[in-house]
Amino acid sequence: MLFQYIFISLFFLFSAVGFSEQMLRVNIGRSNVPVHMTGKTLIIKNESGETLSQTNSATFTPTQTGISLAGKNIGKKIFITSKEPMQVFGRTYLDENEILWQKSSDNKPEIIIIHPVSLERYLISTVASEMSSSWHEEALKAQAITARTYALWQKFRRIHEPYHVSSTVNDQVYNGIGHNHPNTQKAVEATNGQVITFESELIEAYFSSTCGGYTESSKEGWGKFLAYLPVTRCTYCQSSPTYTWKTTFTQQELKNALKSVTKQPITGITIREKTDSGRIKTIDIKTKKSSQQITGSKLRNLLGNAKLKSTFVTNIDFNSRTVTFSGKGFGHGVGMCQYGALGMAKAGKSANDIIQFYFPGTEIRAMY
How many other CB atoms are there within 10 angstroms of residue 281's CB atom?
17
Of the listed ranges 202-206, 259-263, 276-280, the one predicted with least confidence: 259-263
Task: Please check whether residues 323 and 346 belong to one and the same domain.
Answer: no
Whether the per-residue pLDDT at 344 is higher than 90: the answer is yes
Q: What is the mean pLDDT of residues 125-136?
A: 97
State the angle between helix axes of 119-130 and 137-157 in degrees (0 to 180), rounded to the nearest 10.
120
Same domain, 127 and 48: no
Residue 11 lies inside a defined structural domain of this protein? no
pLDDT, tens only, 4-21: 444 444 444 444 334 577
Residue 230 lies in a domain: no
pLDDT in tens, 57-81: 999 999 999 999 999 999 999 999 9
pLDDT score recorded for residue 231:
98
What does pLDDT average to over the chain?
93
Q: How confident is the model at residue 157, as a pLDDT?
A: 93
Q: Which tens digits make up the pLDDT trace of 320-337?
A: 999 999 999 999 999 999
Looking at 117, 133, 161, the residue that finishes a domain is: 117
Q: Is residue 12 part of a domain?
A: no
Give the total number of structural domains in the chain: 3
Nearest to 336 by CA among 139, 184, 174: 139
Kindly give, in sequence order, each residue whose CB lies less than 8 Å from that of residue 264, ignoring residues fewer than 6 positions away: 287, 288, 289, 290
- Taking only the tens place, the pLDDT of each residue in 155-179 is 999 999 999 999 999 999 999 998 8
My answer on whether 216 and 346 are in the same domain is yes
SS3 15: coil
- Asked if the structure places residue 1 within a domain, the reply is no
Whether residue 67 is found in the same domain as residue 201: no
Same domain, yes or no, for 108 and 30? yes
For residues 218 and 337, membership in a common domain is answered with yes
Last residue of a domain, one of 117, 147, 172: 117
68 within a domain of the structure (yes/no): yes
The boundaries of the domain holding residue 307 are 244-328
Is 201 within a domain? yes
Helix then strand then coil, % of the chain, to nearest 5: 25, 40, 35
Averaged pLDDT, 233-257: 97
Query: How far apart, in whole angstroms, are the C-alpha atoms of residue 203 and residue 252?
Result: 43
Residue 231 lies in a domain: no
Query: Residues 257, 289: one domain?
Result: yes
State mean pLDDT over 215-221. 97
Label residues 77-99 b or e (16+ Cβ within 10 Å = b): bbbbebeebbebbebbbbbebbb
* Residues 199 and 57 reside in one and the same domain: no
258 and 136, same domain (yes or no): no
pLDDT at 21: 75
Q: Are 98 and 138 contained in the same domain?
A: no
Q: Tell me: do 203 and 125 sit in the same domain.
A: yes
Residues 134 and 211 in one domain: yes
Final residue belonging to a domain, choices 61, 96, 117: 117
* DSSP sequence for 140-155: HHHHHHHHHHHHHHHH
Look at residue 19 and tell me if it is in a domain.
no
